[in-house]
Amino acid sequence: MLSTFYSKQLAIISNLEHTNLSKPSLYLQVAVPVPMRQLFTYKVPLNLQTPSIKLGERVVVPFAGRQLVAVVITMSVCCEFDENKVKAITSRQQDEYIFTDSQLNFLHQCAHYYHHPIGDVISQALPVLLRQVESVDIKKVKLWQACVENNTDESDEPSLVDTLALLSKRSPKQAQLYKIIQQHQGITWAELRILGFTKTPLNALVDKNLIVAKAVQPQAFTWHDKQLNQDNKLALTVEQALVVSSVTQKLNAFSCHLLEGITGSGKTEVYLQIIEAVLAQSKQVLVLVPEIGLTPQTLSRFEQRFNLPIFLHHSGLNNNERLQTWLAAKQGSAAIIIGTRSAIFSPLINAGMIIVDEEHDSSLKQQDGFRYHGRDIAILRARQHNIPIVLGSATPSLESFHNALMGKYHHHQLLKRPGKSVEAKIELIDMAVQQVEQGLSASLIDEITQTLARGEQVLIFLNRRGFAPAVSCQECHDIIHCLRCNKPYTLHQEQRLLICHHCGSQKRVPKQCGQCGSVRLLPLGQGTEQLEQRLAEMFSDYSAVRIDRDSTRRKGELAKLLQQVSDKKHQLLIGTQMLAKGHHFPDVTLVAVLDVDGALFSYDFRAAEQMAQLLTQVGGRAGRASKPGKVLVQTHYPQHPLLQDLVNNGYHHFAVQALTERKLAHLPPYYYQTLFRAEANYPSYPDKFLRALTAQPLNGCEFAGPIPAAMEKKAGKYRFHLIVQAKQRRDLHKGIKQLLANIKQNPWHNKVRWSLDIDPQDLSW
């Protein structure tokens, strides 16, 4: 629909061009990067009308006293406003980086689905350098190449073979780097950095004339067989072969595939062989990975297989590198783009396939501003390009799982590991029958000691996410429940209140346990910081390393730490779920999860799903064929049905059960949700603002709340939630539209900061 709209617009413009009269007035409706749900009209001064303006072009406009870069969405020759009041654009960014119809169409669909201002959506899709008013000086991409022959015949020069032999003895790092560049002629520095190299060996190789960097003129890649390196290509197992043939059968039509494969079942090999088929058509492939999922191991597998330009997109790149990836996508020179969620906006000129690895991962959802889900809009995008999309995971999200079971997605399973290695078994440690010392059970301490003594590594998870403060009795382990909903109450520390996040009922925190009378009532899942300290003290003979978002903020830090782990510089690894993804630690034979109880009794219905995903993923990280691994989980509730199901029957079975529960409880994926968040300096404002929203009945929709957020006060602001949900997405969509249309009449709307989250993933804040 939108594209026909655009072609009409184009017709108007070309008619204008054919009249030889002096140019008439021209008005642009542009998207401005501000949080307002509208386009803005500007006129184009005569001197800026040639060459003719194109839709999707960037122009500079005056806006509220500033100059901003805006994108042209429509044009017209007449204007519905008072012509004298319409401002003129300041200038045009005359470069070739304009959005195509199809990109604009995609961004419009995103804005529409998420009810988000189009200007902000477009601005997210533009690299920072193209959002700047000053014109950009684009540095050419430098691609590294290895010299494969000596360039002189003079006999006093040692032969390349001799040089390399010497190199691997004297400077193994340089030799390693040379080998990678030789295997993948035309690799970028951004890739080498992820692989863990520094500039020192790079410069050393340059000085030795062993490698050179070529600044290349971007041009679309074309496939030839030499670009495929067959050396490490594996003969597929039957399971794998079935997936590859099913996906590659129809490459030129939309289809969505869920690849559910246990950890280590060879999903990456499946991706590689599917990608091969797409590249062979000279089409581009986009691979989305979790925020820290771009591991050296994975990247080097891609590089060793395909001798074609691979471009990266992630938070570790500088603005120029990001722009280069964007351009390489647009100009067709990038064959493969591997990136985190916002890579979905890469303007691929010739898209052939999208792969979303670890599709259940929460980092695919943007948690502020434009709150899109990378996986969901990837599906939208694949549909638009009419190409296949593959969602892969050992632990699919219940949403994708449901769609697969309903037959909306092709469902493929990899149930076996190709080699001899087996998944580690999860064992529960019943904390009730254990000597517990500051959160560590005697059996766990024992196992850690033994593992370290054998010279193997231990990985310890502090499960921070998915936690919500339910209150439990330290003696009988009873959880305080709302009697009306039979759901745990959530502790609101600030007010010393228990609030049910299902019906909103409140009560004071009791002094004694209702079951056994004990006064030892405490929130679940506390004290992970002390635990960590305690571990380090207890095993002070060994080196402990902490890997989480904070310890890896600096560029290259994660690669460095991971390298140290694989060099066995550390024996004790402590981390959050960030470590559960994609990394292979062959010498880790014991994984311990210290506390899962918070997730079992959270008001956030996704907490249990996330816990199950975490446990299953970490199970896949422990051990290998020669050294089988173990996963130990500490809990006060070993009989909890969800835990039992997971431990005895595995994730797939757990997921089926969890879906049944969701269905009964009218929760996603059976119901669709939208979350309004509001905050202000006084608690009554957000409460009243959200309450006023519930005053208008919405067809087919129901409200839950308003209730205080689990973290009800942050940075001096009081925060409240309102959930709107419906059985039909259509009803929810209409309802939200209606609420937004009337929101300015809400007497409290200027007193609060509010935001909208379509398909919210995290209800804890």
Interface residues toward ligand ADP, by CB under 6 A: 234-237, 240, 261, 263-269, 418-419
DSSP H or E stretch at residue 679: strand 672-680
Q: Is residue 681 within 8 Å of residue 716, measured between CB atoms?
A: yes
Beta bridge partners of 62: 67
Taking the least distance from each CB to Zn ion, the nearer of 123 and 472 is 472
Taking the least distance from each CB to Zn ion, the nearer of 236 and 503 is 503
Look at residue 581 and give the partner it binds from ligand ADP, Zn ion, none, a contact being a CB closer than 5 to 8 Å depending on partner kind. none
553, exposed or middle or buried, with CB in 10 Å at 0-12, 13-18, 19+? exposed
Q: Is residue 607 within 8 Å of residue 599, measured between CB atoms?
A: yes
Please tell me whether the peptide bond between 51 and the residue prior to it is cis, using omega within 30 degrees of 0: yes
Whole-number Å distance between alpha carbons of 709 and 501: 9
Taking the least distance from each CB to Zn ion, the nearer of 237 and 506 is 506
Look at residue 500 and give the partner it binds from ligand ADP, Zn ion, none, a contact being a CB closer than 5 to 8 Å depending on partner kind. Zn ion
Taking the least distance from each CB to ligand ADP, the nearer of 322 and 621 is 621
Look at residue 349 and give the partner it binds from ligand ADP, Zn ion, none, a contact being a CB closer than 5 to 8 Å depending on partner kind. none
Q: Is residue 277 within 8 Å of residue 429, measured between CB atoms?
A: no
Taking the least distance from each CB to ligand ADP, the nearer of 295 and 363 is 295
Whole-number Å distance between alpha carbons of 290 and 314: 10
Site for Zn ion in 434-463 (CB under 5 A): none
The alpha carbon torsion through 518, 523, 525, 531 (nearest 10 deg) reads -80
Whole-number Å distance between alpha carbons of 732 and 670: 13
Least Å distance, CB 592 to ligand ADP, is 21
Q: Is residue 404 within 8 Å of residue 397, measured between CB atoms?
A: no
Taking the least distance from each CB to ligand ADP, the nearer of 298 and 403 is 298
- Taking residue 107's Cβ as centre, other Cβ atoms within 10 Å add up to 24
Least Å distance, CB 520 to Zn ion, is 8
Q: Report the residue number whose CB is nearest to ligand ADP.
A: 266
Whole-number Å distance between alpha carbons of 42 and 26: 9
Least Å distance, CB 431 to Zn ion, is 15
Q: Is residue 91 within 8 Å of residue 62, measured between CB atoms?
A: no
- Binding mask 473-512 toward Zn ion (x if CB under 5 A, else -) reads x-xx-x---x-xx--------------x-xx---------
Closest to 676 in 3D by CA, of 652, 661, 657, 698: 698
Least Å distance, CB 513 to Zn ion, is 3
Least Å distance, CB 624 to ligand ADP, is 9
704: Cβ contacts below 8 Å, ≥ 6 apart:
502, 722, 723, 725
Taking the least distance from each CB to ligand ADP, the nearer of 261 and 469 is 261
**For Zn ion, how many residues bind (rule: CB under 5 A)?**
14
What is the C-alpha radius of gyration for the chain, rounded to an integer number of angstroms? 28
Taking the least distance from each CB to ligand ADP, the nearer of 291 and 478 is 291
CA 34 to chain centre: 24
Is 53 a residue that touches Zn ion (CB under 5 A)? no
Under DSSP, is residue 702 helix (H, G, I), strand (E, B) or coil? strand
Look at residue 706 and give the partner it binds from Zn ion, ligand ADP, none, a contact being a CB closer than 5 to 8 Å depending on partner kind. none
Least Å distance, CB 593 to ligand ADP, is 19
Least Å distance, CB 183 to ligand ADP, is 17
Taking the least distance from each CB to ligand ADP, the nearer of 191 and 269 is 269
Whole-number Å distance between alpha carbons of 684 and 682: 6
Whole-number Å distance between alpha carbons of 704 and 536: 44
Residue 732: DSSP 8-state: H
Least Å distance, CB 704 to Zn ion, is 11
Q: Which residue has the tokens 């709150």?
A: 371
Taking the least distance from each CB to Zn ion, the nearer of 461 and 720 is 720
Look at residue 266 and give the partner it binds from Zn ion, ligand ADP, none, a contact being a CB closer than 5 to 8 Å depending on partner kind. ligand ADP
Q: How far is CA 149 from CA 70, 264, 476, 499, in A?
A: 51, 39, 75, 73
Taking the least distance from each CB to ligand ADP, the nearer of 240 and 346 is 240
Look at residue 518 and give the partner it binds from ligand ADP, Zn ion, none, a contact being a CB closer than 5 to 8 Å depending on partner kind. Zn ion
Look at residue 264 and give the partner it binds from Zn ion, ligand ADP, none, a contact being a CB closer than 5 to 8 Å depending on partner kind. ligand ADP
Look at residue 513 and give the partner it binds from Zn ion, ligand ADP, none, a contact being a CB closer than 5 to 8 Å depending on partner kind. Zn ion
Least Å distance, CB 387 to Zn ion, is 46
Q: How far is CA 260 from CA 55, 257, 297, 652, 725, in A?
A: 41, 9, 21, 9, 29
Least Å distance, CB 418 to ligand ADP, is 4
Taking the least distance from each CB to ligand ADP, the nearer of 340 and 441 is 340
Residue 132: DSSP 8-state: S
Is 513 a residue that touches Zn ion (CB under 5 A)? yes
Least Å distance, CB 689 to Zn ion, is 23
Look at residue 515 and give the partner it binds from ligand ADP, Zn ion, none, a contact being a CB closer than 5 to 8 Å depending on partner kind. Zn ion
Is 515 a residue that touches Zn ion (CB under 5 A)? yes
Whole-number Å distance between alpha carbons of 12 and 165: 68
Binding site for Zn ion (CB under 5 A): 473, 475-476, 478, 482, 484-485, 500, 502-503, 513, 515-516, 518
